[in-house]
Amino acid sequence: MARHLITSAIPYINGIKHLGNLVGSQLPADLYARYQRARGNEVLFLCATDEHGTPAELAAAKAGQPVAEFCADMHATQAKIADGFRLSFDHFGRSSSPQNHALTQHFAGRLADAGLIEEVSEKQVYSNADGRFLPDRYIEGTCPNCGYDGARGDQCENCTKQLDPTDLINPRSAISGSTDLEVRETKHLYLRQSQMRDQLNAWIDSKSDWPILTTSIAKKWLNDGDGLQDRGITRDLAWGVPVKRGAEDWPGMEGKVFYVWFDAPIEYIACAQEWRDAGKGSDWERWWRTDKGADDVRYTQFMGKDNVPFHTLSFPATILGSGEDWKLVDYIKSFNYLNYDGGQFSTSKGRGVFQDQALDILPADYWRWWLLSHVPESSDTEFTWETFQQDVNKDLADVLGNFVSRITKFCRSKFGEEVPSAGTFGPAEEALIADLDRRIAAYQSHMDAIEIRKAAGELRAIWVAGNEYLQSAAPWSTFKTDPDMAAAQVRLGLNLIRLYAVLSAPFIPDAAQTMMTAMQSDDWSWPSDAATALAALPGGHAFTVPDVMFTKITDDQHADWQTRFSGTRD
């Protein structure tokens, strides 16, 4: 039995995410996790919330809550939404957990011992009114280049010129508006990634099977300009993991915390400890320590393309630099962006569909199916209500839902609500079985390779094969002349429903459960061959006719949602 460690990029805590955040990491990771479990493999599927940093502090302030309380509430909210989408995390952790605090400090200590941490003094803008240092982008002022009044300390969004905060004319705090700013000297820790460039380069080079999107981004950061740059891993903030060297205090670093990009990926490991501590498992090290049983684990990460540098370089640098036997990622599946109706999803402009709204208007399976079958694997993908309506109605309601409906209702009217026993399979049935064997093999190989769109296409073709068979076998016709043959045809059709439940469950778990329940079965075993799988429900086995599985999206709903989620356009 193979063992799969699977992680999804961890979503930031500052608010409810839109669909773009779902499709780029959590949903495909869930698909893969469900598939591997279905194949009988051992899976540990982890995700968490990324809770530290300035945006979280500001979001909490805006909500009028202490930041710890805000994060706890928002974590619960995101966990509820994840559950709504049927994301099957073995544990949904928090980067603010005590486990992550300790582990982050541990890694910092190991890296320091290995000579990979450097203390650097630098000048940063301090706001007396806010009582804090301000990150570059939280300083606003007049652009020295174009005169735009709302330029940020990192870049003027009017003329796109890159800036230093000290370039701004009449700088002010973006948080309070205060102009009582001063430049102060402060000391920070830098991770000397540049020292590990050759090691990282060789590691990336060894990953010839990774998606081009993943390796090209990594190589660019390794080789661009002066090569991989050292990065600051601490900040002058209150909310975060306090800087410590292992369990020891770090002289000169009092009151500082680690920067989010340092502690967030470490949460992947800490999350396994949380999982253990929550009583969901007994041994987390056999998943994460190659010297303690994780040698045979295959570790796959899922993320949007914006997260690739941290996962290909920074986090591996942390792990390799520690000198300990931590598990490195085996395969990184990265995704492009999902666009919304001619533009980008925008949190600030309220453009696009947010995850809670999506679940309010339609069941999870509708979203799961459309998003996964259109997942942006090779380039950005466009969401439009028109294609969403068309595709979901066609694939789920017409092709799959109607198949279940037509065969169960036909059987009920002619043979009653049990699988008919009479008749034997002929050439048409054998041909279907051979076709299914080929298609299931193709489906598996696409799923094994995490080629999601291809897998979705093959699954859809498997649904279509059932309709093709019924159409040519025409039991409603044979019933008049040869009821026994009709019985055999219906028996095959009913067994297809159970097989579809098994094969479809990774994509649409709720509908799969509906199908399985209707067939009054609990046999979720993955098919070894179609002939055997289609004999699972013998003659005489009782079933029920399920309610309509997928109601169609109407034109009125389409129009209503198109308007409601358009947001404010400029």
Partner RNA sequence: GGCGGUAUAGCUCAGUUGGUUAGAGCAGAGGAAUCAUAAUCCUUGUGUCCGGGGUUCGAGUCCCUGUACCGCCA
Burial 486-507 (b: 16+ CB within 10 A, else e): bbbbbbbbbbbbbbbbbbbbbb
Query: E strands of 174-317, at which residues?
Result: 181-191, 231-232, 234-235, 244-245, 248-249, 257-258, 297-304
Task: Name the strands in the sheet holding 169-173, side by side, starting at the edge strand that comes first in the sequence.
Answer: 151-152, 139-142, 169-173
Residues in the interface with RNA (CB under 7 A) total 57
Q: Which is nearer to RNA, 112 or 308 (CB)?
A: 308
Q: Is 49 helix (H, G, I), strand (E, B) or coil?
A: strand
Q: State both tokens at 104.
A: 């982050």
Residue 127, strand partner residues: 132, 181
For residue 177, the minimal CB distance to RNA (Å) is 26
> Measured from the CB of residue 38, what is the shortest distance to RNA in angstroms?
23
Smallest gap from Cβ 497 to RNA, in A, equals 12
The binder of RNA chosen from 102, 129, 399, 442 (CB under 7 A): 399
Q: Does 446 bind RNA (CB under 7 A)?
A: no
Residue placing its CB nearer to RNA in the complex, 271 or 486: 486
Segment contacting RNA (CB under 7 A): 100-108, 134-142, 209-217, 436-444? 209-217
Among 409, 448, 523, 554, the residue binding RNA under the rule CB under 7 A is 409
CA distance 30 to 26: 6
Question: Binding pattern to RNA, positions 292-321, x when CB under 7 A?
Answer: -------------xx---------------
Find the binder of RNA among 292, 394, 438, 564 (CB under 7 A).
Answer: 394
Q: Which amino acid is at 262?
A: F
To the question of whether residue 384 is assigned a binding role by annotation, the answer is: no
Contact 29, 356 (CB under 8 A): no
User: Near RNA by CB under 7 A, which window of 1-9, 14-22, 45-53, 215-223?
Assistant: 215-223
Single out the segment in contact with RNA by CB under 7 A; choices: 23-31, 141-149, 234-242, 396-404: 396-404
* Smallest distance from RNA to CB 525, Å: 25
Single residue of 260, 320, 432, 549 touching RNA by CB under 7 A: 549
Stretch that binds RNA, among 136-144, 259-267, 417-425, 548-556 (CB under 7 A): 548-556
- Are 4 and 298 within 8 A, CB to CB? yes
Interface pick for RNA out of 58, 114, 361, 464 (rule CB under 7 A): 464
Interface pick for RNA out of 124, 195, 347, 402 (rule CB under 7 A): 402
H-type helices in 347-426, by residue range? 355-361, 364-373, 385-392, 402-415
What is the smallest separation between the CB atom of 511 and RNA, expressed in angstroms? Answer: 9
- The answer to whether 407 contacts RNA (rule: CB under 7 A) is yes
Distance CA 329, CA 332 (A): 7
- Residue of 121, 185, 206, 212 interacting with RNA (CB under 7 A): 212
Q: Is there a contact between 262 and 104 (Cβ–Cβ < 8 Å)?
A: yes
Residue 528 touches RNA, criterion: CB under 7 A? no
Question: Which two tokens mark 311?
Answer: 């996962």
Which two structure tokens, joined as six digits, stand for 3? 């063992």
CA distance 218 to 57: 31
Q: Which of 410, 443, 507, 565 binds RNA (CB under 7 A)?
A: 410
**Least distance to RNA from the beta carbon of 427, Å?**
17
Q: φ, ψ for residue 428 (rounded to 5)?
A: -65, -40
Cβ proximity to RNA: between 68 and 431 the closer is: 431
476 binds RNA (CB under 7 A): yes
Q: Is 207 in the site for RNA (CB under 7 A)?
A: no
The DSSP element (H or E) to which 109 belongs, if any, is helix 98-113
Could you tell me the smallest distance in angstroms from the CB atom of residue 178 to RNA?
27
Task: Based on the shown chain and the rule CB under 7 A, indicate whether residue 398 belongs to the binding site for RNA.
Answer: yes
H or E element that contains 272: helix 260-277
Is 411 annotated as a binding-site member? Answer: no
Residue 79 CA to its chain's centroid (Å): 13
CB of 140 to RNA, least distance (A): 18
Please, which of residues 323-382 interact with RNA by CB under 7 A? 336-337, 344, 374, 376-382
Q: Is 217 in the site for RNA (CB under 7 A)?
A: yes
Does 213 interact with RNA (rule: CB under 7 A)? yes
**Which DSSP category does 482 fall into?**
-
Please check if 47 is assigned to a binding site. Answer: no
How far does CA 449 lie from the centroid of its chain? Answer: 17
Q: Which of positions 161-180 make contact with RNA (CB under 7 A)? A: 162
Length of the chain: 570
Q: Please report, for residues 10, 34, 153, 334, 354, the alpha-carbon distance to residue 87 in angstroms, rounded to integers and kept in the order given.
A: 13, 9, 39, 18, 16
Place of tokens 């796959």: 300
Q: Using DSSP bridges, classify how beta strands 338-340 and 381-383 pair: parallel, antiparallel or unpaired.
A: parallel
Smallest separation, CB 538 to RNA (Å): 22
Residue 336, CA distances (Å) to 41, 369, 379 in order: 28, 18, 6
Q: Which residues are annotated as a binding site for Zn(2+)?
A: 143, 146, 156, 159
* Known binding positions: 143, 146, 156, 159, 347
Residues making up the annotated binding site for ATP are 347
Binding site residues, RNA, CB under 7 A: 160, 162, 212-213, 216-217, 220, 224-225, 305-306, 336-337, 344, 374, 376-382, 387, 390-391, 394, 396-402, 404-407, 409-410, 413, 453-454, 457, 464, 467-468, 470-472, 474, 476-477, 548-552
